[in-house]
């Protein structure tokens, strides 16, 4: 098994939901070479040992999936069906769910919290950040690792993981995202404050989870 990813492709927007936060720190600590690809232009993915697909204000929920989002689903399906490691965060997890035959439903409200999950996996215990208005129903062929009452929030299949939880979030990232998306401060401030109060333990949890995920998806 490759002990850590040496080459990583990150698919994200140019100016929203693109920051890697603790994920980037973990990658840097392992000396990974990170290549960014923008979903705001034509998507052409280079080969890499890991593809990370980040969040988005776009949607792949039933009735909301535009042609550009469907193209991303198709790209991810091709990637994971060739047994290459994949990590999807928020929108990236929703794309993975659709690519593997799961469902994504519009909730009609935005769920923001910093709270524990329903999980038996040690690496997912503790508090985690959530910010989403679409709910994943994980594919029946996948293993669900964590849930909240409204959605499956962590699942895996083969060498692919989907995380609705925002393991990339820091308090500063949440503040910038809230301002960038014109969300009233009172709606995101509790999440940012929770992350700031729990910064050391929170980053430790992210690194532990990344270690666990990579060990389960790394090429032989």
Residue 74 lies in a domain: yes
- Considering the domain boundaries, does residue 155 fall inside one? yes
16 occurs within a structural domain? yes
Position 113 in a domain: yes
Q: For the chain, how many residues are written?
A: 220
Question: Which pLDDT score is estimated for 83?
Answer: 96
CATH code of the domain covering residue 170: 3.40.50.880
Model confidence, pTM? 0.96
Catalytic residue, chosen from 49, 65, 72, 90, is 90
Q: Which domain holds residue 125?
A: 7-215
pLDDT of residue 64: 86
CB 102 within 8 A of CB 73: no
The pLDDT assigned to 2 comes to 65
Cβ pair 31, 21 in contact under 8 A: no
Q: Which of 109, 132, 130 is nearest to 118 (CA)?
A: 130
Grade residue 111 by pLDDT with cuts at 50, 70 and 90. very high
Asked if 168 is an active-site residue, the reply is yes
pLDDT single digits (tens) 122-166: 999 999 999 999 999 999 999 999 999 999 999 999 999 999 999
pLDDT of 1: 59
**Domain count within the chain:** 1
Please check whether residue 2 lies inside any domain of the structure: no
Whether 65 sits among the annotated catalytic residues: the reply is no
Average pLDDT, whole number, for the chain? 96
Distance CA(129)–CA(117), nearest Å, equals: 10
How many whole angstroms separate alpha carbon 168 and alpha carbon 128?
Answer: 10
User: Looking at 49, 72, 123, 168, which residue is catalytic?
Assistant: 168
């Amino acid at each position: 098994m490759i002990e850590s990813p040496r080459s990583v492709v990150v698919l994200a927007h140019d100016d929203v939901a693109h920051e890697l936060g603790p994920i980037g720190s973990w990658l840097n600590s392992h000396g990974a070479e990170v290549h960014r690809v923008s979903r705001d232009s034509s998507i052409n993915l280079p080969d890499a040992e890991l593809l990370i697909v980040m969040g988005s204000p776009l949607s792949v929920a039933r009735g909301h999936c535009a042609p550009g989002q469907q193209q991303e689903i198709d790209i991810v399906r091709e990637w994971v069906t060739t047994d290459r490691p994949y990590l999807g965060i928020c929108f990236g997890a929703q794309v993975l769910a659709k690519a593997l035959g799961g469902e994504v439903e519009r909730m009609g409200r935005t769920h923001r919290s910093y709270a524990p999950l329903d999980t038996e996996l040690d690496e997912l215990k503790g508090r985690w950040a959530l910010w989403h208005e679409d709910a994943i129903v994980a594919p029946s062929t996948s293993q669900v690792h964590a849930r909240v009452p409204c959605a499956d929030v962590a699942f895996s299949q083969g060498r692919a993981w989907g995380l609705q939880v925002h393991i990339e979030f820091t308090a500063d990232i949440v503040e910038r995202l809230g301002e960038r998306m014109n969300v009233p401060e009172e709606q995101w401030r509790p999440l940012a404050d929770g992350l700031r109060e729990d910064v050391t333990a929170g980053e430790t949890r992210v690194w532990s989870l990344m270690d666990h995920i990579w060990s389960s998806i790394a090429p032989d």
